[in-house]
Structure 1
Amino acid sequence: MTQSARAWLDELTSLYTPTSTQFDSARGHRAAIEARLDLYLGVHEMFEIGSLKHGTGVWRHSDADFLVSMKGARPESPWTMLNKVKETLQARFPSTTVVVRRPAVVCRFADADVEVVPAYPGVTGYWIADPTDGWMKTYPKDHNRYVTDINNKHGGAVKKLARQVKVWKYLRNVPVSSCYVEMRTAKHMDGENGYSPLWDLYLSLKKMHEAELAAMNDPTGLGSRFGACSSESTRLDAMSKLATAVTRSRRAKDYDQDGDNERSIEQLKLLFNQ
C-alpha cells in the first residue's frame, strides 16, 4: 500500500526533531559561560531562549541559545557590549572559535555551538543588538508564551508546523531568520480554527511570500518588528526560493486532496530537497 503524503511528512518531521539529549553538550557549557561573564562583566540572569527552548529546533541545525542579562549601563553602541563579551569568552576558551554574529556571540566548541545573546534589562523586556543597526527591544519569555498558547490551542500542531518550515529553510539554504519563520507560522495558525498538515504548510509559505518577507509587527504587541533577512540581496534570494516552495507545497496539497499520494510525496521531496 502506498504511503500517504501526511505519513511521509510526519516521518520527515520526526527525523529532524531533536531528542532530549542531543543538546546536552551545548547546554553543558552554560555554567562556565555564565561564571566567566559574571566575574568580569556582571550578570543579572542567564536563561535559554530560541527554537530549542520553544520546542521548534531542528536536528543538526539548531544551536543552544542563551540570553544573558548584563549589569551596568547600556553603552551607546551594541558593538561595545558584543566585543567585550567576545573578548571575555575568548580569553576563557582560548582553543574555541568565538565570533560575533549580531545579536549574538557564538562559541564554536568542539562538541557544540552555543549562541550567547548579551542584553540589558528594560522596565519591561530586554535591549539587545539589532541585527541591522543600533538596539532593539525583545521579549523572549512573552514570545515563547505566545507560541505555546497557540500551539496548545491546536494540540501541538503549531510547533510541528514551525519545525517543518524551518526544515525547508535549512535543507534549501534559505537565508531567512528562524525567529521570523516561527512567528509568521504562529501568527498564521492563530487565525485558524483547525489544522490540516499539507494545507497549513502551503498557507504558511504562501502568506510569507505574499508579505514579500517584509518585517512583521510583534504579534504580542510588545517588542520591535521581526526582520526576515539581513540584507536586500538575501531577501531576493529567499523570495526566489520561497516562490518555488509555494508552488511545490500547493501541488503536494492538491495531489493529496485528489488521493494521489505518489505525486504528492514527489512534490514534498522536491520541497524539502530529499
Structure 2
Amino acid sequence: MFDDDAIGSAIMSETARAWLNSLTSLYTPTSSQFDAAKSHRASIEMRLDAYLGLHDMFEIGSLRHGTGIWQYSDADYLASLKGVQPESPWTMLNRVKDTLQDRFPNTTIVVRRPAVVCRFSDGMVEVVPAYPAASGYWMANPADGWMKTHPKEHNKYVNDVNAKHNGGAKTLARQLKIWKYLRNVPVSSCYLEMRAAKHLDGESSYSPFWDLYLALDKMYEANLAAMNDPTGLGSRFGACSSESNRQDALSKLGRAVTRANKAREYEADGEHAEAIEQLKLLFNR
C-alpha cells in the first residue's frame, strides 16, 4: 500500500527551483522529435528552387537556437529567393504558398506572416521566404511591409549571451515561451527570445527566479513595445501582430509579473510550496 503521508511529505519537500527545472525539462524537445517534419526539407527546397529559384535554404528559429518547445515549435527554414523583390511581401508569400500547394495538394498550407506554414500529417514546417540584402535578408514584417533580418547573427548573439551565463539565456527564453504557449499569449516567440537574451546581456549573473520576474516586468514596463535589434544590424523586433493582440498580451503579462514576483519572494524566504503554487498559476499547470 502507498503511504499517503509519505507521498504528501515528498511533494511538500520539493523545492521551487526543482519544480521549475522539471517544467523546463518537460518542454525541452529531444533531438529526434522533429525528424519527421525535417524530412520534408529536401522536397520543399527542390520545389522552390525549380519554380522560383533559390540562393539558399537553411534552418532558423527556436529549434536551431536550442529554445524550441515540445508540442509547439515547428521546423523553420529561411528560403532566400532569387529574382526581383516585389513591392508587396504578400506577393512573395502567395507565390511560395501556391508553388508548395501544387507540390503537396493534400497538405494544408497557409500564409502566417512572415511564414508559409505547411501542416504535414507528421509535422509542421514553416518556410520564411526572403530576399537577400547587402547584409541580411528582407522578409515580411508580421505587422506590415518588409523588415530586415539577420538570423545567423541573431543566433550568434543569443549563443554568446547564453555562454556568458552557462545556459541561462536559453533557459529563460524557453520559460518565457512555455508561458506564452500554456497561457495562450499572442506575442512573438522571436521577441521573447531576444528580450531574454537582451536582459541577461546586461546582467552579471543568472538567477532563475529573479530573472524570470525581471524579464517579464521589463516587457510589461515597456508596454510590449518593439525592441531594437541588439546586434544593431536589422529592423526592430515587434511583439504582436495587431493592437488587439498587444492589449490581450499585456493583460496576461501583467498577471504574469505579479505571479512571478510572488514566486520569487516565496522562494527567497524558503516557502517552496507557496512558490510552486504561484509558478503553477504563472504557467497554467
Return the TM-score normalized by structure 1. Answer: 0.99
Number of residue pairs aligned between Structure 1 and Structure 2 = 274
Letter in 2 for 1:115: E
Contact 2:143 2:240 in 1 (8 A): no
What do the CA deviations read for 1:176-211 (whole angstroms, capped 9, x no partner)? Answer: 000000001100000000111111110110111011
From 142, 161, 172, the counterpart of 1:161: 172
Matched residue of 1:117: which SS? strand
Letter in 1 for 2:258: T
From 203, 210, 216, the counterpart of 1:205: 216
From 247, 270, 273, the counterpart of 1:262: 273
From 38, 62, 83, the counterpart of 2:73: 62
Please show how residues 117-266 of structure 1 align to structure 2 within 5 Å: 117-266=128-277
Structure 2: unaligned runs, 5 residues or longer = 1-9
Matched residue of 2:142: which SS? coil
Matched residue of 1:195: which SS? coil
Matched residue of 2:170: which SS? helix
What do the CA deviations read for 1:146-196 (whole angstroms, capped 9, x no partner)? Answer: 000000000011101100010000000000000000001100000000111
Shift of 1:104: 0.6
| Equivalent residue number for residue 4 of structure 2 | none
Shift of 1:132: 1.7
| Equivalent residue number for residue 84 of structure 2 | 73
Shift of 1:130: 1.2
Q: Distance in 1 between matches of 2:274 and 2:33?
A: 34
Matched residue of 2:116: which SS? strand
Letter in 1 for 2:265: D
Matched residue of 1:214: which SS? coil
Shift of 1:79: 1.2
Shift of 1:126: 0.3
Q: Looking at CA atoms only, which structure, 1 or 2, has the larger radius of gyration?
A: 2
Q: Distance in 1 between matches of 2:236 and 2:284?
A: 31
Matched residue of 2:178: which SS? helix
Deviates more, 1:126-135 or 1:212-221: 126-135
Kindly report the root-mean-square deviation, in angstroms, between the aligned alpha carbons of the 2 structures: 0.6
Shift of 1:131: 1.4
Matched residue of 1:94: which SS? coil
Return the TM-score normalized by structure 2. Answer: 0.95
Structure 1: unaligned runs, 5 residues or longer = none
Contact 2:267 2:275 in 1 (8 A): yes
Q: Percent identity?
A: 72
Letter in 2 for 1:15: L
Shift of 1:13: 0.2
| Equivalent residue number for residue 92 of structure 1 | 103
Letter in 2 for 1:174: V
| Equivalent residue number for residue 284 of structure 2 | 273
